[in-house]
Amino acid sequence: MSDPSAPSPLLQAQGVTLAFGGVRALTEVSFAVQPGSITAVIGPNGAGKTSLFNTISGFYRPSTGSIRFKGQDITRVPAPQRARMGLGRSFQNIALFRGMTVLDNIKLGRHAHLKTNVLDALLYVGRARREEALLRREVEERIIDFLEIDHIRHAPVSALSYGLQKRVEMARALAMQPEILMLDEPVAGMNREETEDMARFILDVRAEWGVTVLMVEHDMGMVMDLSDHVVVLNFGEVIARGTPAEVQANPEVARAYLGSGNVGELRSRLRAAGRARAEAA
């Protein structure tokens, strides 16, 4: 029985099925994201994690089922409108404009919220000038400072390391003023120091900005350290959901990752990953 005193989910997937021709990427996927939480979606390669992210953010439309955001059905709402409503995301493969500077890439994240008309923008007067000044101040004084990238604000993205590019992509998502920050493999390809930095930023954006976080991630140690709730996908279906401790104790999760139901082996791997991070810190 549900707790009537519990807050309503900020985001909810209900029976989401996604098919490409005769191939099902997702089957009856249901889960909820509570406000102020860090929720992780995990699973082996090909489990459907990015397909789920693309469905939530509006790039794919499910065959059946629904996506609800703040109680509103957004299943048929276009992706740009979902961004304006408060769904901001990063991508598994970096999707920055490599020939532009860090600052200009981040400012593009606010485009969906700008009210300037074409004439104002061309003449750069009135509302266009005011909006630009406000945007630049917020980006430079809040987002860039928060993510510690002041030293590269005028650098072209193409000149940055992979880890810094991932940080810039997170900055652009924050410029969208999201209520839910969706991070698709935020530490993939990073070294240990970069991973520790990104984990700190994820915790701080929840604590200091009040932003709810939904992330897809393969770094199991980080997932178990940061998450309040974990959803496990395998072959497009939810096979487990719950707290990190509950998920670790689930034989189905161990079977999906290890090919057996050996929960002890999964826990040993997670402990070893935690020790390795601690030694590298």
Express each pLDDT in 81-106 by its tens digit: 998 899 988 887 677 888 889 888 88
Cα separation of 221 and 138, whole Å?
33
Mean pLDDT of 39-56: 93
- Which tokens in the block code for residue 55? 């469905």
| Between residues 175 and 181, the one the model is more confident about | 181
Residue 122 exposed, middle or buried by CB count within 10 Å (0-12, 13-18, 19+): exposed
Cα separation of 118 and 128, whole Å?
9
Q: Which residues pair with 40 in a beta bridge?
A: 215, 230
| Fold for the domain defined by 1-86+180-281 | Rossmann fold (3.40.50)
Residues of the chain with CATH 3.40.50.300: 1-86+180-281
The pLDDT score that the predictor gives to residue 117 is 45
Write down the residue that tokens 């997937």 correspond to.
Answer: 13
pTM for this entry: 0.82
| Between residues 31 and 279, the one the model is more confident about | 31
Dihedral-angle region of residue 15 (phi above 0 means left; psi in -120 to 50 means alpha; beta otherwise): left
The pLDDT score that the predictor gives to residue 122 is 44
With H, G, I as helix, E, B as strand and everything else as coil, classify residue 63. coil
Answer whether residue 243 shows pLDDT above 60: yes
- Which tokens in the block code for residue 185? 């493999």
Residue type, 137: R
The rounded percent of the chain whose pLDDT value lies above 90 is 48
